[in-house]
Amino acid sequence: MKRRFKILGTRRFGEAVRLIIEPSDIVKEKQQFNPMTIMSDPDGIQTRLQEMQNNVMIQSMPDTITISYEEWQKHKYNTDDIVWIEVTPE
């Protein structure tokens, strides 16, 4: 399965380059706040708050992948580039 990632930064690491990446969804659903949902679904609000907290934690610890320096020179990956990475379950 291929996933889309956005490059947040690059860092040289010896004979390799580390790409700092974050998942990049093509389409995201816009979350709108409706005060009436607090009264009708308090458990749903708790779940949304937990998801928001998890998103903040994920953003503070971004994913990285390491590629060879030659591979980086070939493609010249830069900040804000989009890459597709093949993800295979073990």
Enclosing domain of residue 58: 2-86
Quick one: tokens of 53? 């907290």
CB-based contact 71:23 (threshold 8 Å): no
- 42-68 per-position pLDDT tens digit: 677 777 777 777 766 655 667 888 999
Structural domain tally of the chain? 1
CB-based contact 23:68 (threshold 8 Å): no
- Its pTM stands at 0.59
CA distance 36 to 63: 37
- 13-40 per-position pLDDT tens digit: 889 999 988 887 766 666 666 666 666 7
